[in-house]
Chains A and B, each alone.
Chain A
Amino acid sequence: MTENPRSLVITPARPPAMKSTCHAGGSFASAGPDAPVVSLAGAPNSGKSTLFNALTGARVTMGNWPGTTVEVSRGVWRTTREAAACTCVDCDCEPSEERIDITLVDLPGAYSLQPESPDEALTRELLVEAPAEERPDVCVVLVDASRLAHGLYLVSQVRERSQRVVVALTMLDVAARRGITVDPGALAQALGCPVVGIDPRRRTGLDALAATVRSGLGSEELPARARTLATADSLAADDERFGWIAAAVTSATTEAGAARASLSDRIDRWATAPVIGPLLFLGVMWVVFQVTITVAAPFQDALDSLFSGPVSDGATALLAAVGLADGWLHGLLVEGLIAGVGMLLTFVPLMTFMFILLALLEDSGYLARAAVVTNRLMRAIGLPGRAFLPLIVGYGCNVPAVSATRILPSATQRIMTSLLVPFTSCTARLTVFVMLGATFFGSNAGTVVFGMYVASIVIIVGVGLLLRATIWRGEESEPLVIDLPAYQLPTLRLTASVTWLRLKGFLQTAAGIIVMTVCAVWLLQSVPVRGDGSFGDTPVEDSAYGVAAQAITPVFAPAGFGSWQTTSTLVVGFVAKEAVISSWAQTYAVDEPEDSAEPGDLGAKVMAEFEQSSGGHPIPAALAFMVFLMAYTPCVATLAAQWREIGGRWTVFGIGLQLVVAWVLAVAVFQVGSLFS
């Protein structure tokens, strides 16, 4: 078995072992330092994560494995002797039932123990290369019964070491529909380890699985399987494994004649076909886009109105009642904390719809087909086909788009896509484009706004190629080899459970970052640096915020918008692009326009400012500003989502990348444009 150096690029050090990390506590959920550790292994789409959710309920944490960028879920699996799979949240089982809490670790999906990706490298490290005392006490390997030979390849490798192994057979119903019957007893005999049939989606067979695992915990490790040919030659070793697998499949399965084409086969004739497949995919994307943006919008507006209206008014009235209506406390509470919490909560409907749709697409099996039909297009920038989905969603809102990168199978792909998502032009930026388009381009505003979307696509392709030529230089695009699992009707419980887990994870990470950043901006706007103002009552240009904006203003002079009034909106736009227009209105002391397509007084002020700062070239300066606005950091909520998905280091790198790309493009647009204006 050869090490793949490519896989080590983002898995720099040997990760902490499963048990030592658990014993050390850390931020992961665990059943305690002395609790047994059970790992779930299996190929993608084998039902592993569904089983994990069914066994652990809400007692789960998700996060990157320490020292790696690979996401691993860990939870507590409560088992009792009588009701072996006790999955109740507030367990009140009788103590006499000898409850055992197990730390359950959901390893990344792996087809084999050959480290072809960071996910598989971590699985191999934890299951094989870790010292025996640090490995899980029991390894449960999930195998899809409808594709038995396929799933047993991982089992053949796991069984080459002495350890406690349980094989959990899933998709028995799909196998039955294909005329395949699997005998778990015969399979157990052939594999030399216990085999249990389960259906994690309907939560059947879990008691038997728990009983088998508990029995395994009290037993000696299983000896490694006898190999007919012990060889270092990988081809010969695979021959031996497939011979072992073929013997096991033959002894344990019976097939009822030639299987007729299944419903999945018939659907796939259309879903992956040339022309029809991509059209169907675009239709699905349209639904995702519409639901996440259009359907969520009224809920967002209602929450926004609630916080900017009754909640803020109530807080103001409360402070007035105790004589603090005009002090800094009012500013901190209303413009800082309430505005921050309100902003966070407005994302909840959007994220909920996004996570529901993702769960439905994953659970139904359609995502694998989406990967097939978009493969060729996305490979041009080194991404798999399914990266199309987060990028499309990004044109609605970058925050759920970054979260949607978790559908990608490898950590490298998740990082690269997360770095590209901020260059998709979200709807918050659209309002600013419309206002500037109407101000500077009159009847051509629509064409200019459309041009910004085209520019966004060009930037994504350009930055994607740049990243491939630099950071991921020499890394080949992963060839498309993907299972097409049988289509399944999504289950309500699974969809709700996965949605809640993901939403909880987002809120846990994003809450602190968003609220703290909004409060920090309020603080900077409240601290007087010059003039006669006092804390909480100072003109914005005399505040620390205004002075900082003025300090960075010269940086934007080559782009034609080097005035502090314009620069300060970019600082506000770092928090949320929705605030750019209101920030301008506040700076120029004019009313914010009701309709951004009719900018009125504000448009005239902005036009005059650009005229002055650009030395008489306002049109290219406005274009440069729009390009900068599109390419630099979208908002603090996107950063929070990135922080959760790819970690702080890559998030900071992304900020730098966006600023450099935005500045270079803005300067280029202005310098070239001013030659022709």
Chain B
Amino acid sequence: MAAVSLAQAPLKTPLVLLDSGGGSLDRRLVGFGLRPGSRLVLAQRTAGGGRVALVGGSRVALGAEVLREVTVEVSE
């Protein structure tokens, strides 16, 4: 599957993070284990257009503004 933003990525499907936007968002996401190469699954949609991501045993809520900046692809 081609690279898509997290906003377009399917739910409950293993994903691999390709790019996390750079800058301060990039550094912030690293603290949550979200960096290029990380595996994650989007568990559900949230109010306000965000998603809940499962990563490394954590449940991390991501706002809609984050989803647009992060690029992923479906894990093979």
Report A's interface with B, CB cutoff 8 A: 2, 4, 6, 43, 111-112, 114, 116, 146-150, 153-154, 178, 180, 234-235, 238, 242, 264-265, 268-269, 272-275, 277-278, 368, 371-377, 379, 385, 477, 479-484
Contacts and interface: CB of A to CB of B under 8 A. Distances in A.
Interface of B: 24-25, 27-33, 35-36, 43-50, 52, 56-66, 69
Contact of A479 (B25, B30, B45, B46): B25
B44 A149 contact: no
Contacts of A274: 45-48
A484 B50 contact: no
A230 B46 CA distance: 40
Top 4 closest A-B pairs, CB basis? A480-B63, A111-B31, A376-B48, A149-B56
Given A116-B24, A373-B46, A482 B60 contact: yes
Contacts of A2: 27
A273 B59 contact: no
B60 to A, nearest CB: 6
B57 A178 contact: yes
A265 B59 contact: yes
B62 A480 contact: yes
A149 B30 contact: no
B63 A272 contact: no
A481 B32 contact: yes
B44 A479 contact: no
A313 to B, nearest CB: 54
A172 B24 CA distance: 32
A559 to B, nearest CB: 40
A177 B52 CA distance: 20
Contacts of A116: 24, 27-28, 31
A114 B27 contact: yes
Given A153-B33, A379-B65, A275 B59 contact: no
A150 B56 contact: yes
B29 A150 contact: no
Contact of A238 (B35, B43, B44, B69): B35
Nearest to A377: B48
B45 A273 contact: yes
Nearest to B44: A269
Contacts of B60: 481-484
Contacts of B62: 480-481
B56 to A, nearest CB: 4
A484 B62 CA distance: 10
B1 to A, nearest CB: 24
Contacts, number: 126
Main secondary structure of the interface of A (DSSP, over half): helix
A174 B16 CA distance: 27
A272 B61 contact: yes
Nearest to A486: B59
A150 B33 contact: yes
A180 B57 CA distance: 10
5 contacts: A150-B32, A368-B61, A481-B32, A483-B61, A484-B60
A375 B48 contact: yes
A277 B46 contact: yes
Contacts of B50: 372, 375, 480
Contacts of A43: 31
A111 B32 contact: yes
Contacts of B63: 372, 375-376, 379, 479-481
B31 A273 contact: no
A372 to B, nearest CB: 5
A149 B46 contact: no
Given A146-B57, A153-B31, A278 B47 contact: yes
Contacts of A371: 61
Contact of B46 (A178, A238, A372): A372
Contacts of B29: 481
A483 B46 contact: no
A234 B30 CA distance: 11
A78 B58 CA distance: 34
A147 B56 contact: yes
A116 B26 CA distance: 11
A264 B65 CA distance: 25
B34 to A, nearest CB: 8
B61 A372 contact: yes
A238 B61 CA distance: 22
A338 to B, nearest CB: 49
Given A116-B27, A272-B47, A372-B47, A150 B57 contact: yes
Given A147-B57, A268-B44, A483 B25 contact: no
Contacts of A4: 24, 27
A477 B57 CA distance: 27
Q: Which of A116, A147, A274, A479 has the most CB of B within 10 A?
A: A479
A255 B50 CA distance: 29
Nearest to B68: A479
Nearest to B38: A242
Contacts of A178: 57
Contacts of A265: 43, 59
Contact of B64 (A272, A376, A385): A376
Nearest to B55: A150
Nearest to B31: A111
Given A481-B29, A483-B32, 4 more contacts: A112-B31, A150-B56, A153-B30, A376-B49
A150 B38 CA distance: 12
Contacts of B32: 111, 150, 481, 483
Given A273-B45, A274-B47, A6 B61 contact: no
A264 B57 CA distance: 13
